Amino acid sequence: MTDGVGLRGVVIRDAVAVDLDAVADLERRSFPIPWKREYFASEVGAPFRFNRVARNATGRLLGYVFCAHAGGEIHVHKIATEPAFRRLGLARKLMEEVFAFGGRIGADEVYLEVRESNAAARSFYAGLGFRQVGRRGQYYGDGEDALVLARSPEPGSIRLDSAVPEKTHSARAVRNGPPEVAMPSLTEELKRELAGANEEFSNLLSNHLAHEKRLAELASKSFLSQDEEAEEKRLKKQKLALKDRMEEIAREYRARVGSSH
């Protein structure tokens, strides 16, 4: 951090439920189509997330970054800093935390979308070494395109290869911004529909079912060996991650096809 006076005493830590009101408030003042509070609430504490908030010594929220990670990629869903505290290096500091986290988990790439018209953010990301690897037409609710940017988490090892194929992006854990309606959980009908339309979803679903089957077998046993206990723990964790990814695909799908689901 450039440790300007305004940032003295700033602490960056994991986002928790008590941060939600302030995060949602800053979000409303920072984005033309803000995520709703409930949406942040569903992210806090969810598996495979890296969600951080910055608060100053008086407890005031100065910024946040919300990310998800899967398959060697980190996706930055949201980053914002308090307007009166911009250009002090805080967003840079938050992104440095993301890169350091990416290094710890061995991620290959950090991805994000930015509005084409968001000159401030584009300049910010360019300064961090992000490069454009794609474009999503009419990505935002108001019809504006998003530019897809990427960077390796490792400093000095920004990949210079050409654009990642569009297919890679569409199959990734990519959110289409906030849904405008409350999201019901995955219904059987939606699962069937998505399994027919999306290969990744179909694979996730069969994997999820296999996990459920094995977990049911383990649950029916009156005694578990140490290995089985470890297996049960691992399967439960993996099952949650699979469900999480399916929910993400469903959210993206709903945002694309409308709110009928």
Ligand X SMILES: CC(C)(COP(=O)(O)OP(=O)(O)OC[C@H]1O[C@@H](n2cnc3c(N)ncnc32)[C@H](O)[C@@H]1OP(=O)(O)O)[C@@H](O)C(=O)NCCC(=O)NCCS
Calculated CA dihedral for residues 12, 17, 23, 27, nearest 10 degrees? 130
Binding test (CB under 6 A) with ligand X, winner from 30, 42, 168, 207: 30
- Number of residues in contact with ligand X under rule CB under 6 A: 19
Binding test (CB under 6 A) with ligand X, winner from 36, 92, 131, 136: 92
Rule CB under 6 A: say whether 121 interacts with ligand X. Answer: yes
Cβ proximity to ligand X: between 113 and 201 the closer is 113
Rule CB under 6 A: say whether 79 interacts with ligand X. Answer: yes
Q: For ligand X, which stretch binds (CB under 6 A), given 15-23, 50-58, 81-89, 131-139?
A: 81-89
Please tell me the number of Cα atoms within 13 Å of 97 on its side-chain side.
22
Rule CB under 6 A: say whether 118 interacts with ligand X. Answer: yes
- Report which residue type is found at 115: R
- 71 phi/psi in degrees, rounded to 5: 50, 40
Rule CB under 6 A: say whether 202 interacts with ligand X. Answer: no
Binding test (CB under 6 A) with ligand X, winner from 120, 158, 209, 210: 120
Binding test (CB under 6 A) with ligand X, winner from 50, 124, 139, 201: 124
Rule CB under 6 A: say whether 110 interacts with ligand X. Answer: no
Rule CB under 6 A: say whether 207 interacts with ligand X. Answer: no
Q: With residue 167 as reference, give the H or E element that holds it.
A: helix 166-170
The SS3 of residue 236 is: helix
Tell which phi-psi region holds residue 115, choosing left (phi > 0), alpha (psi between -120 and 50) or beta.
beta
Rule CB under 6 A: say whether 162 interacts with ligand X. Answer: no
Spatial strand order of the sheet with 61-70 comes to 11-14, 49-55, 61-70, 73-81, 109-115, 146-151, 131-136
Q: Which residues contact 183 (CB under 8 A, 6 or more apart)?
A: 250, 251, 254
Burial of 240 (0-12, 13-18, 19+ CB in 10 A): middle
Least separation in angstroms between CB 79 and ligand X: 5
How many other β-carbons are positioned within 10 Å of the β-carbon of residue 16? Answer: 11
Rule CB under 6 A: say whether 24 interacts with ligand X. Answer: no
Cβ proximity to ligand X: between 109 and 246 the closer is 109
Cβ proximity to ligand X: between 75 and 254 the closer is 75
Which x/- pattern over 127-146 shows residues binding ligand X (rule: CB under 6 A)? x-------------------
The SS3 of residue 146 is: strand
Which x/- pattern over 166-185 shows residues binding ligand X (rule: CB under 6 A)? --------------------
Burial of 207 (0-12, 13-18, 19+ CB in 10 A): middle
Rule CB under 6 A: say whether 243 interacts with ligand X. Answer: no
Residues that bind ligand X (CB under 6 A): 30-31, 79-81, 86-92, 114, 118, 120-121, 123-124, 127
